[in-house]
Structure 1
């Protein structure tokens, strides 16, 4: 048992037997959805390699994704598209996705552990855990499910929009991605509210070069 599993163990009591870990992927990208996942294990389920998805290789994430699905008591995913992100902002979209992911679990948790310092309203008790994906076993598992799910979505979208290199950058603001937006324009999958800063920088450069 590693430190992540030990972290979760301290929350189990006679009344708390089912803990849901919740995390999201895709708050920062310029394009694509934000994806949240919720995962419940029994308190004996364990895999020593589960940790924050950002610390794992793509191959390892895909392997652990399958393990989590096969060994969890329940898991759920919610995808919130870029249109809703633009409408309600990324923080609210992330919280909405996490709330829906929890509500779609096939069994109800006794406690919810959330990555970050924000929570959503729920009848079940919630604990926000800063850097929870590197502290909690269940949150780390949720981070893997969310990341792998979102990466698959961006890989598929990249087939239709190859100029933006989404298969590699997953919609994040890499140099190649930013240059593609300036050259080819935005797609229907870009977050318009996220592009304002990019366009502002472009205008400043053009004014400077005049």
Structure 2
């Protein structure tokens, strides 16, 4: 897992270095930092969503401007997606495969990913040091931690249980976002906005369940 993390970081930084020196980039490259709270939820089938849970995302942002009002926007972040659900016959807690009586579990997923978004950002013309944007694209998540709390009836059957063997390594999602950039000094600007990340791949390895996680991010960042 550490090797994969290192490869992703080096690849991102290598791409940044190429973009800064490439003659094909005529409108500039901007690098930034982000620290973002997330509001996540789980949508299982079969099962039901119980409630949302807070998470966090932090890391690097990068905008490759290929036209005055258009950017290819990416980044490299560590993102936590939490959420609660009720599901039936969940591994690894449901060990007796011969039991014909279904068992319900109240679950809290605590998932952490390295995320590499690939999006297009559409911007308005800058006026009075501010501009607005809309964003659309693909989210690529690579699972680096998967834990779960589980309760069946009044019995706790999992407390921060590691479930990496029961969850998938790759998560794909659709990104929709909007917000604004506000100049503060020189080339520096603050970013603020809202992003909806709709997961569309099953995060579990159980072929009898289709569990997807989604989140809203209250975006905050600084571009330099």
Query: Which of the two has higher C-alpha Rg?
Result: 2
The structure whose residues are more often strand, as a share, is: 2
TM-score tier after normalising by the smaller chain length? under 0.3
The structure whose residues are more often helix, as a share, is: 1
